[in-house]
């Protein structure tokens, strides 16, 4: 729904703020000012929760009050199951009462540290979603839209199980969908869309409402050509104000890359390869794991690696660098668990993201295999990994609570040390990707 058109709303499914944008949450007023300029009226959450329960509630209840609605039907208290946030809002758009229901990232306590949301329960919660749809319809809503951070596959399945939703406008898996998927369910049909991430697209959805129900729709995925559009003066001023105290540190050049640095492959990217190479070198590890995060910007050969780029790739609220001794059996278990989160044939057991990035270790992966049987032929320097042997494994962004009290450096500190030791130039990274079995040729996999 387009904010610049009278009587419309701009809805945010979460990914617009992902990565460095989440830093806006450290200052609630900056977030309000940015949303006001963008025209955001309603939003749901994902990375915002990694600021911790108290800070999230403070911003929503204090800074957002009367300005921005934060909705999430699937976040409840652990003790009594009470809703933590408003499940939905009803807004009148061009004279038509429209309900906007929030679906926050359902796997927050698993994919992110549990201690940050210790008192809250998440999940998909189909039954409660159906109850909220029915309740909103009962209050007169003629249009029901869900803003979701499930991910595209989960949204598609949810659309088959919950009826009465006119459209799900989703985020999390960063899919830029040029057309809306039309999903049939027992109550009719539901549109499912996803508008990518990082402000690269704007999903515009128009409804025609007749006899108090949707009779037709028009959906467009509009690309945002940021380099071709003049900067909005007010937004530019806000960004400059927020950046000013940190500008010199962010702009510091740490090195120059001789190769393309990107993050987006299903199994690895050269930006992540740089991270694991640095972690192994600085910490003397046999191998390194880096989370399958999807945010971060691309650098072309010859461009400077600045501290801002490094933070753009690594800045979370729990980016501690770690070194752990693991047996070969444990290493396989870790890889199998991540693979099942990604490739389980049931979307409700998928958590989005990409495969953990691996440095030093080579292996084969069968995405269409069964749980526990997708990873094979694990080798270190050509030698098969032994199940009972211990290996030194570097990593970062641990979800375990004890990791925050161990005094470990932040991952960007470790990588910065390595960058500065390379003599000013970073050679092209040799990409370490697994051998894919059983699923190729499949243009959906990026290896």
Phi, psi angles (nearest 5°) of residue 147: -100, 120
62: CB partners within 8 A, 6+ apart: 28
Say what percent of the chain tops pLDDT 90.
83
Segment 255-292, tens digit of pLDDT: 999 999 999 888 999 999 999 999 999 999 999 999 99
Instruction: Tell me the pLDDT of the chain averaged across its residues.
Output: 91
Domains of the chain in start order, with CATH, are: 10-223 (3.60.21.10), 252-436 (3.90.780.10)
Q: Which 3-state string (H, E, C) describes the chain?
A: CCCCCCCCCEEECCHHHCHHHHHHHHCHHHHHHHHHHHCEEEECCCHHHHHCHHHHHHHHHHHCCCCCEEECCCCEECCCCCECCECEEEEEECCEEEEEEEECCCCHHHHCCHHHHCCEECCCCHHHHHHHHHHHHHCCCCEEEEEECCCHHHHHHHHHHCCCCCEEEECCCCCECCCCEEEEECCEEEEEEEECCCCCEEEEEEEEEECCEEEEEEEEEEECCCCCCCCCHHHHHHHHHHHHHHHHHHHCEEEEECCCECCCCCCCCHHHHHHHHHHHHHHCCCEEEECCCCCCCCECCCCEEEHHHHHHHHCCCCCEEEEEEEEHHHHHHHHHHHHHHHHCCCHHHCCCCCCCEEECEEEEECCCCCCCCCEEEEEECCEECCCCCEEEEEEECCCCHHHHHCCCCEHHHHHHHHHHCCCCEECCCCCCCCEECCCCCCCCCCC
pLDDT at 13: 47
Q: What pLDDT, in 10s, does the model give residues 23-57?
A: 444 577 888 888 888 888 999 999 999 999 999 99
53-76 pLDDT tens trace: 999 999 999 999 999 999 999 999
Tens of pLDDT, residues 177-190: 999 999 999 999 99
pLDDT digits (tens, 9 = 90+) for 378-401: 999 999 999 999 999 999 999 999
Given a cut of 90, is residue 10 above it in pLDDT? no
Q: How far apart are CA 176 and CA 314, in angstroms?
A: 23
> What integer pLDDT is reported at residue 34 of this predicted model?
86
Tokens representing 107 are 């796997």
Q: Provide the CA 298 distance to its chain's centre, in angstroms.
A: 17
Give pLDDT, residue 24.
43
What span, in angstroms and rounded, lies between the C-alpha atoms of 221 and 243?
30
Tens-place pLDDT, residues 169-228? 999 988 899 999 999 999 999 999 999 888 889 999 999 999 999 999 999 999 999 889
Instruction: Return the pLDDT at 32.
Output: 85
What digits encode the pLDDT tens for the residues 345-359? 999 998 877 899 999
Q: What is the pLDDT of residue 227?
A: 87
Query: Per-residue pLDDT for 117 more than 50?
Result: yes
Q: Between these two residues, 126 and 19, which has the higher pLDDT value?
A: 126
What is the pLDDT at residue 26? 57
Mean pLDDT, residues 367-377 taken together? 96
What pLDDT is stored for residue 71 in this prediction? 97
Q: Buried (b) or exposed (e) across 115-137, using 16+ Cβ within 10 A?
A: ebbeebbbebbeebbbebbeebb
pLDDT (average), residues 150-170:
97
Beta bridge partners, 101, equal 88, 146
Q: How far apart are CA 14 and CA 34, in angstroms?
A: 14
How sure is the predictor about 5, in pLDDT bands with cuts at 50, 70 and 90? very low
Residue 135 neighbours by CB under 8 Å, 6+ apart: none
**Do the Cβ atoms of 110 and 25 come closer than 8 Å?**
no
């Amino acid at each position: 729904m387009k904010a610049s058109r009278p009587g419309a709303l701009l809805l945010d499914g979460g990914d617009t703020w992902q990565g460095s944008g989440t830093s806006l949450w450290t200052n609630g007023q900056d977030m309000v000012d940015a949303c006001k300029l963008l025209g955001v009226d309603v939003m749901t959450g994902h990375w915002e929760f990694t600021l911790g329960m108290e800070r999230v509630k403070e911003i929503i209840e204090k800074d957002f009050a009367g300005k921005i609605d934060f909705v999430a039907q699937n976040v409840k208290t652990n003790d009594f199951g009470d809703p933590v946030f408003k499940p939905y809002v009803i807004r009148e758009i061009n004279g038509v009462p429209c309900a906007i229901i929030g679906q926050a990232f359902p796997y927050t306590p698993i994919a992110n540290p549990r201690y940050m949301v210790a008192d809250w329960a998440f999940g998909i919660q189909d039954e409660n979603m159906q109850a909220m749809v029915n309740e909103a319809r009962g209050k007169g809503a003629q249009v029901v839209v869900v803003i979701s951070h499930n991910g595209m596959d989960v949204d598609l399945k949810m659309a088959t199980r919950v009826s009465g939703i006119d459209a799900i406008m989703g985020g999390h898996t960063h899919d830029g969908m040029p057309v809306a998927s039309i999903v049939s369910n027992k109550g009719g049909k539901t549109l499912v869309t996803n508008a990518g991430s990082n402000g690269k697209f704007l999903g515009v959805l128009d409804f025609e409402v007749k006899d108090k129900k949707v009779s037709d729709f028009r959906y467009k995925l509009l690309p945002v050509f940021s380099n071709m559009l003049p900067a909005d003066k007010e937004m530019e001023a806000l960004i400059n104000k927020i950046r000013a105290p940190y500008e010199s540190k962010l702009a510091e050049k740490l090195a120059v890359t001789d190769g393309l640095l990107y993050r987006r492959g299903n199994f690895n990217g050269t930006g992540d390869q740089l991270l694991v190479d640095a972690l192994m070198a600085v910490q003397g590890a046999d191998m390194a794991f880096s989370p399958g995060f999807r945010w971060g910007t691309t650098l072309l050969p010859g461009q400077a690696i600045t501290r801002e780029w490094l933070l753009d790739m690594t800045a979370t609220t729990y980016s501690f660098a770690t070194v752990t001794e693991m047996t070969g059996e444990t290493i396989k278990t870790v890889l199998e668990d991540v693979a099942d989160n990604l490739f389980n044939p049931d979307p409700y057991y998928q958590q989005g993201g990409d495969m953990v990035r691996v440095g030093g270790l080579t292996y084969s992966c069968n995405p269409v295999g069964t749980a526990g049987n997708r990873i094979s032929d694990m080798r270190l320097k050509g030698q098969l990994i032994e199940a009972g042997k211990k290996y030194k494994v570097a990593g970062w962004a641990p979800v375990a609570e004890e990791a925050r009290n161990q005094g470990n450096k932040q991952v960007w500190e470790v990588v910065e040390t390595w960058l500065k030791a390379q003599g000013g130039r970073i050679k092209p990274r040799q990409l370490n990707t697994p051998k894919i079995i059983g699923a190729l040729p499949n243009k959906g996999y990026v290896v």
